[in-house]
Amino acid sequence: MQERSSLYIVSTPIGNLDDITVRAINILKSADLIAAEDTRHSAKLMQHYDIDTPLVAYHDHSSASQTERILEKMRAGATVALISDAGTPLISDPGYRLVSIARSEGHHVIPVPGACAAIAALSAAGLPSDAFSFRGFPPAKSGQRQSWLTSLAENTETLVFYESPHRIEDSLRDMQVAFGSTRQAVLARELTKTFETFLSGTLEQLITQVEEDANQRKGEMVILVSGMEASSLSEDVSAEAMKIMGILLSELPVKKAASLCAQITGEKKNRLYQWALTQK
């Protein structure tokens, strides 16, 4: 049953229009207003499912006054559905500001689960999925991107990124430098669409495939990179640091223990933190 004065976070298809839940369609049809990232793009979905609910634009660059207009509707008892161009809102898509204020004002904020490119890619990539870290889009500028990727190099969980076609080659090359040529990775492209493709191999192999085939530089992309192997971390952490970490972890949270151990031993805090996570 739909709740009044509520904000529904509605997932929409990432490509194939059949990938929408019955609940999502019902919410979109019965809502008083749909806040969409791009009303022209979303109009196609509305037409496909015969949804005539009014659409208003809402995205990261929306003014505070537009956010206020939507909230005013909710304060008056209206039900609003928030959608992005594709997938789950707020997952590298707009909506945080609206959701945050709506919750602070006591409105019901209700998720309507569905398609998400990051999760779809992870489920079919063949990389470890028991622990993963979604990092969104890497920084656009090369220097910032390289520094940011290097800070993730010792993470042991599978890393999941989004990337745009015009930066895919540069990002893959920077990942090769940060993570090493032999790190296993997957490029998932155009998920659920006609030309859905999964490329897998080492980062070096992925770069070659993308460079040699212009089609692999088109469409929506998810990059997945396996984490650093725990054995590699153990080789890089001294016996003294392991002993100290063992003592500290019996009394302190992982983050605090890693910070203190780094001060004592001079080893990198992030490496100690990642090593500690592998011991649990």
Among residues 187, 207, 228, which one ends one of the domains?
228
For residues 55-73, give the mean pLDDT.
89
* 84 and 145 both lie in a single domain: no
Q: Which CATH number fits the domain that encloses residue 61?
A: 3.40.1010.10
Q: Which CATH number fits the domain that encloses residue 156?
A: 3.30.950.10
How confident is the model over 83-110, as pLDDT tens digits?
Answer: 999 999 999 988 999 999 999 999 999 9
* 219 and 238 both lie in a single domain: no
Q: Which amino acid is at 145?
A: R
- Residue 217 located in a structural domain: yes
**Is residue 219 pLDDT above 80, yes or no?**
yes
DSSP assignment, residue 196? Answer: -
Q: pLDDT at position 270, please?
A: 79
* 194 and 111 both lie in a single domain: no
DSSP 153-218: TT--SEEEEEE-GGGHHHHHHHHHHHH-TT-EEEEEESTTSTT-EEEEEEHHHHHHHHHH-GGGGS
Any idea which residue has 């054995």 for tokens?
Answer: 231
Residues sharing a CB contact under 8 Å with residue 94, sequence separation 6 or more, in sequence order? 37, 58, 59, 60, 62, 84
- Residue 1 located in a structural domain: no
Domain range enclosing 128: 118-228
**Is residue 260 pLDDT above 80, yes or no?**
yes
Number of domains in the chain: 3
CA-CA distance, 275 to 26, in Å (whole number)? 47
Can you give the pTM of this predicted structure? 0.81
Among residues 83, 115, 147, which one ends one of the domains?
115
What is the pLDDT of the chain when averaged over all its residues?
A: 92
DSSP assignment, residue 180? Answer: -
